[in-house]
Structure 1
Amino acid sequence: MQILLIHSDFIEYETKKSTPVAEKIDDDLKKGRMEEVLTVFVAVEKSDEDKIESAASQTVAEIKKVTEQVKTNRVMLYPYAHLSSSLSSPKTAIETLKKIEELLKEAQFEVKRAPFGWYKSFTIKCKGHPLSELSRTIRIGEEKCVIVLKETEKQEVVSEALKSEAKATSYWHILTPDGELLKPEEFDFKGHDNLKKFVNYEIHKSRAVDKIPPHVELMRRLELADYEPGSDSGNMRFYPKGRLMKSLIENYVLEETAKMGAMEVETPLMYDMNHPTLKKYLDRFPARQYSIEADKKQLFLRFAACFGQFLMNHDMTISYRNLPLRMVELTRYSFRKEQSGELVGLRRLRAFTMPDMHSLCKDMEEATEQFNEQYNMCINVLSKIGINLSDFEVAIRFTRDFYEENRDFIVGLVKTVNKPVLIELWDQRFFYFVLKFEFNYIDAMDKASALSTVQIDVENAERYGIKYIDSTGAEKRPFILHCSPSGAIERCIYALLEKANMNSEKGIVPMFPVWLSPTQVRVIPVSGKNLQYAEDVASKIEVNSKCRVDIDDREETVGKKIRDAGMEWTPYVVVVGDKEENEGNIMVTIRRESLPNKPANVKMSLQELYEMISKEISGFPYKRHPLAMKLSARPRFV
């Protein structure tokens, strides 16, 4: 049994459509609302099937404990299959949910239960206190019941910076390209819908997930990624096509940092929590850590590459001639113990892949120059990945002193993107940085997710004992820039999927950039006798364009093969039959030029196709397709 417990101001739902396994319900169950309630999302699992009574009883015991903690006797039971990938049969699920409802009513709780097997819209408002988002895994064995508390306040390692962040007073403004600094209530958001959503998200800090975003279904249907039930929440499995996309983005970002002169390094995954230097840094970084114990040491899993790179910098001999000095590491993985109610799909994870570049600069002038250069690099990197300026909103955060001394520089950043940005201003510095920006993607759920970021760090050179020798032979402390050109790689894929979904709703055919598409060209033979010719065509395309080509040799109709290629967002689909064999030309469906239900079919020569594909993928990393060229030889992952 998996349960997610949300202490809510209210929850309301409405059934929309029944599924084949839907329970029969009366009209009064088609809608429901409760206020001042503990909402319990429930997934009944296969392991519960022969233990319904005990599973229901133990689940009720856990619900009772939480109701006592949050002081409510009102419970909404909501079946929620997304909590598990090992679900029970529908019959068992309905029986178990009804048993939980019955036991709660016997215990004098006011209970409502949303119906099983129906598509439902729902709205929930989480109260947001420390116990308002909890989850439990309930395992019933032959002799005992094991309860896994996924969020345990007593065991959580929380940095002083995170505590300070909760107490910090933020002053929010909108800064326009003309340099006008306005309070949000003074700004006209007409034509800036996403900025308005971003401002609301940041000011109200509602991170909890109340709906499953569209990318979750897409990442599974496209066989890119999925939840891993054998790991902690927020740790994903990546299938071959998803791993391919990840590795291409990783290689691209590392190449862009190399062009800037960054040296790639590799550092450990875990560090001593009581190391004097690291302990101080932990308390200045606003993140929750995973902690483990080994050899009587308390260790933490890194949440960025800062630790290893800074310890390396400390041991280096650095001259002013070496500055700015840049180092980069692609962390696979970084770990942050995000709160369970915030975890969903690829948007917010506990283990993620992060390109992390640090630049040592001789003074603030050089630091701001590098900041501006990296700001522009981040815009370019996201654009090449497929996330354009119009797709994200900018946040710039700084102290009041820094703004007053560097106002023209900050306005220049806004002019670069040529649109208003959100400003967060602090009277005093709570963290190690004085200036920071993020590019934030706003998804279909109106949630914001930070992608690229750069920070100017004014503390850690002193803390880690990092120094350089200036032209007079004196030792100096550098300023340090922290830069992630793309943000987490998983989050880039999330943004691409969410963008594709929103494009689809606007009548735009969804697709990935061609260089990132797992299959770039699919060749479809009209019949078995055209298979050899299809293989020849595929081989020529692969060699001459250096792209990923596959062949749909399955015993399906041509129409189904074409539809399946479309469902996989294949950029180029080539159909070859007797006519193509005889004429030597090919018919190509070009996805980027197609409309829904109106494919763009173009007759061309193979040479024309080579040139078209090469133009799209030139300058980007290339990797072979990880799956067999023929679809009939491929396994299914989902």
Structure 2
Amino acid sequence: MINISLPDGAVRQYESGISALGIAKSISEGLARKVLAASVDGQVWDATRPITQDVSLKLITWDDSEGKNTFWHSSAHLMAEAVESVFPGVKFWVGPALEKGFYYDMDLGDRKLTEEDLAVLEKKMQELAKKNNPFLRKEISKADAIAYFEEKGDEYKLDLLGNLTDGGITFYSQGEFTDLCRGPHIPSTGFIKAIKLTNIAGAYWKGNEKNKQLTRLYGVTFPAQKELDEYLFLLEEAKKRDHRKLGKELGIFTTNDDIGAGLILWMPNGTVIIEELEKLAKETEEDGGYKRVVTPHIAKENLYITSGHLPYYADSMFPPMEMDGEKYYLKSMNCPHHHKIFDAEPKSYRDMPYRIAEYGTCYRYEQSGELFGLMRVRCLHMNDAHIYCSKEQFAKEFRAVNDMYLKYFKIFGIDKYVMRLSLHDPEKLGQKYVNEPELWLETEELVRSVLIETGVPFIEAKGEGAFYGPKIDVQIFSTIGREFTLATNQVDFAQPRSFNLSFTNKENEAEIPLIIHRAPLGTHERFIGFLLEHYAGKFPVWLAPLQVKILPISDKFIDYANEVKAKLRKAKVRVEIDERQEKIGKKIREAELSRVPYMLVVGEKEVAEGKLSIRRQGKGDAGTQTVQEFIENIVEEIFERKSGE
């Protein structure tokens, strides 16, 4: 008998050789129908794989990320089986699961897949899934594996085998399809109920443009049709909310080949949003006791050697410029410059905590293939600040930063978020991380304690810390559920030592501060990209580039419209008049498409009564008000930064 320890602490005994699926059946037939895989002593296994010794076991279902990963990887094999049956002779490279769905890279010879082929392949996948064929695992020797793929003339799998050794090679088969794979897989194809092939792309073998270009076929599957329908609806909604599409339509930003890839040109409308975000940040930071600073866009090489950025991040920095025998780099981070400001004047405990903030411009050399709209750029404007504090002050300061995040979440209507506590990997100290094992453990526990005390949702991620200390990556979700990395909140115990930073404590001794790096609004680029999707371009009034559009019914009412415009501008409201000789219906439709929050219709009745007919974007007629009433209401809405809902 073997002992199986379950997550609830229970220990059950079973005959050696039982599978996780068999254990699930012993608990409940309903549970067994949901089990896709199992975590065995922390490793994900096939639910049907025999267990022959005492282990800790967790049953994995669709609700677990490992369950979705296994489901989608198995679906990639099902897709490959369908492709092989429809296009005999195809050769396959790799077919991993993605965050949503899967793909498989394949060599179809001279054949080019078409949209019509996708419908045929989807139908074939449905047919194969209904056969409920089991996924069968087989351990195989390297020699036998090589012989199998040599017979098929498959150079791609033979290449993969070159890096494998006996004892670590497995084949998986389902139906008529067999593939080299380490698994794991779901019990059978019958779990796959809803299928959609989503895209055809090209991909160079091994990512090398000198190699042959393969066909990359993407797909997504679900255990129920309802979930696929919901996913496809959100996919279409995401297309409508694509920040690149909306950014162009609304005149937010543009790019130009003569300027360079990844270098954003902010249009007047985008600049308004930037200025409003900076105003919000400055007000919030002033209330939080921050002092504002400005730093240059370049610095000497030695600054980044001292900070550690060159040894660790050289590949992400632009090449140096040489002047007067010195190398200068474009600033990739604001922190080294801020450290020099801290060190410019002696500090005592009376100056601590010392908080300085800047919307600093930084430059990162992102690979051209990684550039993506506003999300991955080469010039970015960061809502950056650094807090220099004693160890005793750390918890309070770190909590205050978290509170600032929560304030921003409320303003922007961000209801779902999670803090990702990124830790070091002890095995990579001195390589990826500063070699200070005790300080790593101490600061990680400090951050963890604050997160627990404040009750914010967080997860831990080993091996994702910054090189100088643990960090929190703030993951936020838009209104349609898409996840974005907004900002970071980092603890730094290394750079104060690198820069010989200190303050005089109450005992009149030199003490090394801790540093908190924080950027609650991230960068203009990434945050505005998020907001475009989050609001679908329908910004709340305080943030909208144009807040009011006055729509005269005819030229006879232009003078009245100009009087209203002058009063609104005096109240600092962003307003324009549509003076075109168009029908009022067309003016309203176009103002709606431009996502202007308020439309003021003025005609004979409005002029006679000294009033305005008000329309709210997306909501239609909002009644009438006097000019003064409207100004008072909109000014209050702007001042309070109301969401508009």
| Shorter-chain TM band | 0.5 to 0.7
- Rate the CA distance shift 1:370–1:464 in 2: closer, same or farther, 3 A: same
Secondary structure class of the residue paired with 2:261? coil
Question: Which of 275, 287, 298 is the equivalent residue of 1:247?
Answer: 275
Q: In the TM superposition, what is the alpha-carbon distance from 1:570 to its structure 2 partner?
A: 0.9
Distance 2:205 2:414 in 1: 33
- Rate the CA distance shift 1:586–1:430 in 2: closer, same or farther, 3 A: closer
Q: Which moved more, 1:250-259 or 1:562-571?
A: 250-259
Q: In the TM superposition, what is the alpha-carbon distance from 1:478 to its structure 2 partner?
A: 0.4
Per the alignment, residue 558 of structure 1 pairs with: 584
Residues 441-493 of structure 1 show CA distances to partners (whole Å, capped at 9, x for unaligned) of 44699874322321111111110111101112211110011011200012121
Distance 2:636 2:210 in 1: 49
Q: In the TM superposition, what is the alpha-carbon distance from 1:10 to its structure 2 partner?
A: 7.6
Per the alignment, residue 296 of structure 2 pairs with: 268
1:267-306 alignment, distance < 5 Å: 267-275=295-303, 277-278=305-306, 280-284=308-312, 288-295=316-323, 296-306=325-335
Opposite residue 323 of structure 1, the aligned amino acid is M
Distance 1:285 1:566 in 2: 46
Per the alignment, residue 311 of structure 1 pairs with: 340
Distance 2:476 2:445 in 1: 29
**Aligned 8 A contact 1:552 1:561 in 2:** yes
Q: TM-score normalized by structure 1? A: 0.60
- Rate the CA distance shift 1:294–1:285 in 2: closer, same or farther, 3 A: closer
Distance 2:156 2:302 in 1: 38
- Rate the CA distance shift 1:604–1:212 in 2: closer, same or farther, 3 A: closer
Per the alignment, residue 256 of structure 1 pairs with: 284
Distance 1:309 1:588 in 2: 49
Distance 2:208 2:478 in 1: 27
**Aligned 8 A contact 2:385 2:518 in 1:** yes
Q: Which moved more, 1:375-384 or 1:351-360?
A: 375-384
Distance 1:450 1:321 in 2: 36
1:31-180 alignment, distance < 5 Å: 31=116, 122-124=199-201, 131=208
Percent of residue pairs bearing the same amino acid type:
25
Instruction: In structure 2, list runs of 5 or more residues that go unmatched.
Output: 1-91, 97-111, 119-154, 158-196, 212-226, 232-237, 425-439
Instruction: In structure 1, list runs of 5 or more residues that go unmatched.
Output: 1-6, 12-26, 34-69, 73-119, 135-192, 198-209, 502-509, 622-638
Q: In the TM superposition, what is the alpha-carbon distance from 1:324 to its structure 2 partner?
A: 0.2
Opposite residue 459 of structure 2, the aligned amino acid is L
Opposite residue 497 of structure 2, the aligned amino acid is E
Q: In the TM superposition, what is the alpha-carbon distance from 1:228 to its structure 2 partner?
A: 2.0
Question: Which of 264, 268, 271 is the equivalent residue of 1:236?
Answer: 264
- Rate the CA distance shift 1:612–1:564 in 2: closer, same or farther, 3 A: same
Q: Which moved more, 1:298-307 or 1:471-480?
A: 298-307
Residues 82-121 of structure 1 show CA distances to partners (whole Å, capped at 9, x for unaligned) of xxxxxxxxxxxxxxxxxxxxxxxxxxxxxxxxxxxxxx96
Q: In the TM superposition, what is the alpha-carbon distance from 1:322 to its structure 2 partner?
A: 0.3
Secondary structure class of the residue paired with 2:573? coil
Verify: 1:225 aligned to 2:262, yes or no.
no
Distance 1:462 1:571 in 2: 51
Per the alignment, residue 425 of structure 1 pairs with: 462
Opposite residue 122 of structure 1, the aligned amino acid is N
Q: TM-score normalized by structure 2? A: 0.59
Taking only aligned residues, the RMSD between alpha carbons, in angstroms, comes to: 3.6
Per the alignment, residue 410 of structure 2 pairs with: 383
Per the alignment, residue 492 of structure 1 pairs with: 527
Q: In the TM superposition, what is the alpha-carbon distance from 1:613 to its structure 2 partner?
A: 0.4
Q: In the TM superposition, what is the alpha-carbon distance from 1:312 to its structure 2 partner?
A: 2.1
Distance 1:511 1:444 in 2: 12
**Aligned 8 A contact 2:307 2:499 in 1:** no
- Rate the CA distance shift 1:130–1:251 in 2: closer, same or farther, 3 A: farther
- Rate the CA distance shift 1:271–1:518 in 2: closer, same or farther, 3 A: same
Secondary structure class of the residue paired with 2:308? helix
Verify: 1:614 aligned to 2:635, yes or no.
yes
Q: In the TM superposition, what is the alpha-carbon distance from 1:389 to its structure 2 partner?
A: 3.1
Residues 401-433 of structure 1 show CA distances to partners (whole Å, capped at 9, x for unaligned) of 3455665433234x24xxx4332134x976101
Per the alignment, residue 496 of structure 2 pairs with: 461
**Aligned 8 A contact 2:561 2:577 in 1:** yes
Distance 2:207 2:341 in 1: 38
Per the alignment, residue 437 of structure 1 pairs with: 472
- Rate the CA distance shift 1:492–1:600 in 2: closer, same or farther, 3 A: farther
Distance 1:464 1:9 in 2: 47
Secondary structure class of the residue paired with 2:531? helix
Per the alignment, residue 396 of structure 2 pairs with: 369
Question: Which of 604, 608, 613 is the equivalent residue of 2:625?
Answer: 604
Secondary structure class of the residue paired with 1:494? helix
Secondary structure class of the residue paired with 1:291? coil
Opposite residue 524 of structure 2, the aligned amino acid is I
**Aligned 8 A contact 2:550 2:601 in 1:** yes
Residues 8-46 of structure 1 show CA distances to partners (whole Å, capped at 9, x for unaligned) of 9589xxxxxxxxxxxxxxx9844468xxxxxxxxxxxxx
Distance 1:128 1:305 in 2: 39
Opposite residue 220 of structure 1, the aligned amino acid is K
**Aligned 8 A contact 1:9 1:127 in 2:** no
Secondary structure class of the residue paired with 1:515? coil
